[in-house]
Amino acid sequence: MIMDGKRVLITGGTGSLGKVLVKRLLSGELGTPKQIVVFSRDEAKQHFMRLSYLENKSATDEVIYENFKNLLTFRIGDVRDFHSVSSVVRGADVIFNAAALKQVPSCEYFPFEAVQTNICGPENIVRAIKENDLDVETVVGISTDKACKPVNVMGMTKALQERVFLTANLDCNGTRFVCVRYGNVLASRGSVIPFFHEQILKGGPVTITTPDMTRFLLSLDQAVDTVFAAVKEAKPGETYIPRVPSARIMDVADALIEKRKIKKVITGVRPGEKIHEILITEEEIHRTMDRKKYYAIAPILPELASVKNIKPVLKDEFSSRDDLMNTKQVYQLLKKNRLLVGDVTGEVGEVLR
């Protein structure tokens, strides 16, 4: 299998996506890696993540190895620092770059901080591979719908991350650089659903920026499915997009509130925020191919083109404003992923119940 004997590096591995990515890699569904390295700058998150695995005295449904301690390791470092990146990249076969500044308002107020993490970080990975002539097989860049027609700093920096990685296919012989791009991940850190949970558990009000706002919705496992699909199938320079539904944020709030008597308040659009998100632009539809559960966007550079005479599968941009779920469908999606307010557990639930 594709991960058998591979040394895997996950930058930003203590984030929401990184944690699920680690768990899925440990499950062995893609094979048995030789090593998994979680690389991040937050020692506290690494400490608690390590403890959560140490507390598993026996194999679980997610972790099938008898002794993961020889498999999963943690490294403190920052993608902004070239020396730190150069050290941890050495020896890696597969790299998942999940390190990012992703809060839209934060990036608006501290744009250069976003540049350093979201652009300079990926460039450090590319530079480390190129200058040290490393035998890295695959690098997967994690991007976002906000990179399409970007209007905010977060999207602008993520769009450039995509180009940094995809262009690296021309400079790093033997390394395949691909990207994945997806929308709002249900219940990820900083997403709207935990925010709504907290407001509902406090008795309201629930704050909504504008009634018309829509977003693509997918679970963390669907996000990892997309990453794995790109690892298995994507050609150099391609960007993988999951085919996922979208909904009005107002309907998400209504589904979570259910029959509770909780007031909703419209607060206005925040700095850098879009009303609708796009996963594939009208320019990109001419390079978009069908890959079953996914769309694959061919690279913009002709030197990387591996598919000739592409037959576009879309007639218009892939926007969250189209094919919206209704409130009932949103409710069923949240119920399926155990994200209704009654399912809330952990720190937020314990504090606010």
| Six token digits for residue 273 | 């925020």
146 in catalytic set? yes
> Cα–Cα distances in Å, from 81 out to 40, 88, 144, 285?
11, 11, 23, 36
Relative orientation angle of helices 121-131 and 82-89, to the nearest 10 degrees: 50
Active-site residue identified among 6, 19, 102, 146: 146
List own/partner pairs for 25-28 with CB under 8 A and 24 or more apart: 26/62, 26/63, 26/64, 26/65, 26/68, 26/71, 26/72, 27/61, 27/62, 27/63, 27/64, 28/64, 28/65
Q: Catalytic positions, please?
A: 146
